[in-house]
Amino acid sequence: MPLQENDFDAVSLKPVTSRPNDSDAKPAIDSQPPTPNARNLYNESAGIYPLQREYPTLRATQRIFRVLAYATVALVIPGLLIRFLWIVWSTQDGILNEVGQFSLYAVASLFGMVALVGTLLTASEGIELAIDVQDNTLRIANQSGRRKP
């Protein structure tokens, strides 16, 4: 039997499959009216959202990530500067060779520092984003019509 124009779903263009006859099947659970117990349970639980939730562990983790990021910068930059000054002050002959070797170490250290600090600050902001999304969701839930009568 060839396919007709109405044999396809308008949205996804998938062939329409025949569905079993529902006349002899039991009614679906969704089509049954809610029982009084379910309605009472809903009314007892409705509208009990807190105004705001606190996440002390996430906030502490966020602060730790930020402190570690700032500590990394506070250790690496002065450490490289002190090492460079030490090389310049203590080297008598071949200072260009020593500075060249130091520059390889310094560049690698700076790239590592940027990667670590970027990762820590990104994780910290990700935690802040998750808390903000939860806060906005909670505000929307509190503003919706789900309240006790």
- List the domain boundaries for the chain: 54-144
Amino acid identity at 31: S
SS3 assignment, position 23: coil
To the nearest 10 degrees (0 to 180), the angle between helices 56-90 and 95-143 is: 170
Q: How far apart are CA 74 and CA 62, in angstroms?
A: 18
pLDDT at 9 over 90: no
What is the mean pLDDT of the segment spanning 86-110? Answer: 90
What is the mean pLDDT of the segment spanning 22-37? Answer: 57
Residue 100 main-chain phi, psi, to 5 deg = -65, -45
With cut-offs at 50, 70 and 90, classify the pLDDT of residue 19. low
pLDDT score, position 148: 44
Tokens 């690698």 locate to 108
* Contact criterion met (CB below 8 Å) for 99 and 88: yes
Q: How far apart are CA 122 and CA 99, in angstroms?
A: 33
pLDDT at 25 over 60: no
pLDDT at 77 over 90: yes
pTM above 0.85, yes or no: no
Least confident of 7-21, 34-48, 67-81: 7-21
pLDDT score, position 149: 42
pLDDT at 114 over 50: yes
pLDDT at 108 over 90: yes
Tally Cβ neighbours within 10 Å of residue 94: 10
SS3 assignment, position 1: coil
With cut-offs at 50, 70 and 90, classify the pLDDT of residue 139. confident
Q: Ramachandran region of residue 84, left (φ > 0), alpha (ψ -120 to 50) or beta?
A: alpha
With cut-offs at 50, 70 and 90, classify the pLDDT of residue 36. low
> Which residues neighbour 138 within 8 Å (Cβ) at sequence distance 6 or greater?
49, 50, 51, 52, 53
